[in-house]
Structure 1
């Protein structure tokens, strides 16, 4: 029993620093959730301050879509003072768990997004920024959603700590480059969350944490395409949430209004063009050093060491450099990845003739711009281009002078069709072939100037 009042019943969750228990409030006779700081952190001043700050931050908020905080205390355990937070017990599952049970309908995604945005708007109105919006921190119940875990919350305008805290897949660029906490960072994270729920993948193709962090700062997101059941004003809204410049993003209140049905854009109107946002000099200056530092040492500080919410490659294949042909690693139907990991294959084939794309004006990266060509009988690929094969189709790609991947040609295999292609130049160029429920994704990145393909089934 904690504080002579709360009886711990069973653990129901845990994170990097704490364990959440189902408990009973013996005074009021109700079931509650108690977040108890793990014993090894009990003597850590920063950890104790963090959980106390979470209690104060959430307790100051009163909103139907924010889990309520009832009490804070410190218990004696093995001679240590262990802090705990008493919270509303939310009956439901996390949005992360819900999304794994099947594809959510666009209407449900918009409803969830509107309620999360409304909760954020309330927090922002009180000068509080959540800083860790992700599916695992959104509880889905019969009566709507509840935003939980204000453990990383901070006051708007406060200085960002030197230690980067959060989940890599949802970190706004200014979290890595700015000095002040901004409410727009929550809107960015919500935009990533909604994009992933609607499109089924991230706004960027990244096969490592380093690529993901780099993409947030330097790479423009692939615009959310027109999707069945998603009004154009909502597509445009989500694309605005992902702007690099915080001032160009909508407020959480506007997001709630649009997703909730009170669209500020005329229904049926085409979405406005998603122009690349202006970049603060601060965003670009020192980016390479920032990412290198994060890659080497920063990851252990992210989200208490939690795993990133991203696809990591289970197998890769690297075609030889020069004019030699890659070795065939799989047949038309693909093979199981090394290590027996089902669903991920890696395939390369000898270079086949493919029609090169039309000559186009060079882009700032020194490569042709525009969409690559698709051909059933391609021919005449230049040196440095590698062709990869999967059950869904083939893709030919090369590396640019600055080490980015670019798809130069592709061809689906009947009955597959091209669902989506992001030709690059990018950290990872990607194409998705689809035949009904069967979906094959080929991601191409560059290693030492050589195209590398990851095929995910």
Structure 2
């Protein structure tokens, strides 16, 4: 009896395959690839003539973190927080993807904007106040973004109003943590992380953690370097200084004071108790000091 070779294995579906199939099923028009983030690919999709961002992330194991991101965004309603249409698990055979349909922010990122030059003091005050108000909105809902950075801050057509995006590592303070207690550090982008993140001090993480991250973003937008980085130093020096809770370089304190931003100095203190108790207080202080 003759034997036949097994049929060739078909390649696993790609994120683009998932995006195409999802749009076919929904009657959406799939557009261009808009780039990729740390864990997902982003496409332009048109729904009833309105453009949206379709984010596709492969799922390996639990969907809990994706579900938390979706629930967090759905609970928010703020002009400086991205608007979510839906988030769902999408399966193609044994391959799973998490799909998010979110508003399309066409004004680019703060990261791209800073590549063209630093912000003025007035721009820092305006953008900073909007973002601090968004973080206050999260604080009221017991949510901690944990990844406030220029790449996660986008703009609509109005370039004066920033929009916070990418809630992929959001912490829900009223739910059990997903982060392992024995991990050396919690989820973060090191250059924008607070000491309690770098040291995985989970009981200390709250809205003031995001306050620190925003403070780093605003100082980098104003001075062109990390607030804990001395002149001529590498970013790693700043990260280690933050981790060890060493003082901010005196030169940076002097520069921020001279430019009228003592509010940023307070928001960037090593211990959460030294920062603004409420992020709404920080938002008000950015406008004036």
Please give the TM-score of this superposition, normalised by the length of structure 1. Answer: 0.52
Structure 1 segment 215-234 matched on structure 2, within 5 A: 215-218=241-244, 219-222=246-249, 223-226=252-255, 230-231=259-260
Alignment counterpart, residue 45 of structure 1, candidates 53, 56, 61: 61
* 2:149 corresponds to 1:134: yes
Shift of 1:131: 0.3
Shift of 1:82: 1.6
Task: Give 1 or 2: higher helix fraction.
Answer: 2
* 2:49 corresponds to 1:29: yes
Provide the rounded CA distance (Å) in 2 between the counterparts of 1:229 and 1:244: 21
* 2:243 corresponds to 1:214: no
Shift of 1:75: 2.6
Shift of 1:89: 0.7
Alignment counterpart, residue 67 of structure 1, candidates 57, 66, 82: 82
Task: Give the aligned partner of residue 210 of structure 2.
Answer: 186
Shift of 1:116: 0.7
Judge conservation of contact 2:146–2:170 (CA < 8 Å) in 1: yes
Which of structures 1 and 2 has the larger relative contact order (alpha carbons within 8 angstroms, sep 6+)?
Answer: 2
Q: Deviations along 1:33-74, whole A, 9 cap, x unmatched? A: 111013xxx2x124x322222111111100011001111223
Judge conservation of contact 2:57–2:98 (CA < 8 Å) in 1: yes
Alignment counterpart, residue 42 of structure 2, candidates 20, 37, 42: 20
* 2:104 corresponds to 1:89: yes
SS in 2 for 1:70: strand
Provide the rounded CA distance (Å) in 1 between the counterparts of 2:273 and 2:256: 27
Q: Tell me: CA distance 1:9–1:189, structure 2 relative to 1, closer, same or farther (3 Å).
A: same
Provide the rounded CA distance (Å) in 2 between the counterparts of 1:54 and 1:112: 24
Shift of 1:7: 3.4
Structure 1 segment 367-406 matched on structure 2, within 5 A: none
Shift of 1:160: 6.9
Provide the rounded CA distance (Å) in 1 between the counterparts of 2:146 and 2:166: 10
Give the count of matched residue pairs. Answer: 251
* 2:275 corresponds to 1:249: yes
Shift of 1:208: 5.8
Task: Give the aligned partner of residue 152 of structure 1.
Answer: 169
Task: Give 1 or 2: higher strand fraction.
Answer: 1
Structure 1 segment 288-437 matched on structure 2, within 5 A: none
Provide the rounded CA distance (Å) in 2 between the counterparts of 1:23 and 1:186: 31
- Structure 2: runs of 5 or more not aligned: 1-20
Shift of 1:8: 2.5
Task: Give the aligned partner of residue 203 of structure 1.
Answer: 227
Task: Give the aligned partner of residue 258 of structure 1.
Answer: 285
Provide the rounded CA distance (Å) in 1 between the counterparts of 2:209 and 2:80: 19
Judge conservation of contact 1:237–1:255 (CA < 8 Å) in 2: yes
Q: Deviations along 1:402-430, whole A, 9 cap, x unmatched? A: xxxxxxxxxxxxxxxxxxxxxxxxxxxxx
Q: Tell me: CA distance 1:16–1:103, structure 2 relative to 1, closer, same or farther (3 Å).
A: closer
Q: Tell me: CA distance 1:161–1:225, structure 2 relative to 1, closer, same or farther (3 Å).
A: same
Shift of 1:90: 1.0
Q: How much is the aligned-residue C-alpha RMSD, in angstroms?
A: 2.2
Judge conservation of contact 1:106–1:229 (CA < 8 Å) in 2: no
Judge conservation of contact 1:51–1:85 (CA < 8 Å) in 2: no
Instruction: Name which one, 1 or 2, has greater alpha-carbon Rg.
Output: 1
Shift of 1:142: 3.6
Provide the rounded CA distance (Å) in 2 between the counterparts of 1:150 and 1:61: 11
Shift of 1:148: 0.4
Please give the TM-score of this superposition, normalised by the length of structure 2. Answer: 0.80
Q: Tell me: CA distance 1:256–1:228, structure 2 relative to 1, closer, same or farther (3 Å).
A: closer
Q: Tell me: CA distance 1:182–1:89, structure 2 relative to 1, closer, same or farther (3 Å).
A: same
